Amino acid sequence: MKNKPSPDYGIDAPSVIINLLVFSVIQTGFVFLSLKYLATYSPLLYFGSLFLNGIGAFYCLSMAILIFISSKITKPRFIKKYFNTLSFKADSKVLDIGCGTGLLSIEAAKRIGNGKVCALDLWHGKDQTQSSAAKTLLNAKAEGVAEKIETIQADMREMPFEDQSFDQVVSCLAIHNIEDRNEREKALREIFRVLKPGGTFYLLDFIYTKQYASLLKSLGCSEVNISKRFLSIVPFIKIVSGRK
């Protein structure tokens, strides 16, 4: 009997992890150079270099490890637990913006009966390893929900959907990747446009959350809320939620 394949949701921010590891190695090198050359030269410079470079090396290494652990362990657990608190109707139509390898899409699909999830992304790969439409569908197949998920390659600022198409919109660590404020607002206006009246949104991100909440509230959304910061996902996120 063949073993059931396991989903693999990749690693978030691979370039950030690499940079952190490089900085950690460089600063560790300065620690060893300080031990070798500064001990008899200047006590102040010696202990200062040891402290600053030692702290820097430890911080960079720790953050790289935390991002890896978040990607593989705590993020999937958090999303599953959080989605258990949300109300999905049996026939809900859900949009996952910046779906990556499909974690949120799959957790939503498990909870919607005969509903449908549209998993939208550009899948350029720099923000998550293995990020692709094919990987999303492979993970969905491993979780037994492939028939409920449709992948859509599109920009969140110009989504190819009719007005009022979705009951829920979800997104995790995606919208902040749009660097320009006005362009982020385009994505938020698109979220508002494609939501049905009474539809809900859940936007998980670590920066710009006040902007998300303020704009969506100005468009007429109600029950808009910014959660406390959660430490289960690195970088530490807040959740902007509300209703159209």
Q: Looking at the whole model, is its pTM more than 0.85?
A: yes
| pLDDT at residue 43 tops 60 | yes
User: Are 103 and 67 in the same domain?
Assistant: no
pLDDT at 34: 80
Q: What is the pLDDT of residues 211-221, one digit of tens each?
A: 999 999 999 99
Residue 46 has pLDDT above 50, yes or no: yes
Q: Is the peptide bond before 235 cis (omega within 30 degrees of 0)?
A: yes
Q: Which of 191, 177, 190 is nearest to 240 (CA)?
A: 191
Q: Is residue 9 part of a domain?
A: no
Mean pLDDT of the region 44-70: 91
First to last CA, the chain: 48
The answer to whether residues 47 and 100 belong to one domain is no
2 within domain boundaries: no
Angle separating helix axes 209-218 and 181-194, nearest 10 degrees: 50
pLDDT (average), residues 57-61? 96
**In total, how many domains does the chain have?**
2
* Rg value, the chain, Cα: 21
**pLDDT for 80-104, tens place per residue?**
999 999 999 899 999 999 999 999 9
Which secondary structure element, helix H or strand E, spans residue 33, and what is its range?
A: helix 14-37
**54 plus 105 within the same structural domain:** no
Q: What is the pLDDT of residue 5?
A: 77
Same domain for 114 and 219, yes or no, is yes
Structure tokens belonging to residue 141: 């197949």
Task: Give residue 49's pLDDT band: very low, low, confident or very high (50, 70, 90).
Answer: confident
Q: Can you give the length of the chain in residues?
A: 244
Structural domain boundaries enclosing 20: 14-72
Q: How far apart are CA 241 and CA 19, in angstroms?
A: 32
Examine the domain organization and report whether 68 and 181 are in the same domain: no
- Whole-number pLDDT of residue 3: 65
H or E segment and range at residue 183: helix 181-194
**Which pLDDT score, from 0 to 100, does residue 126 have?**
81
In a domain, 49, yes or no: yes
Question: What average pLDDT does range 112-135 have in this prediction?
Answer: 93
Instruction: Return the pLDDT at 212.
Output: 98
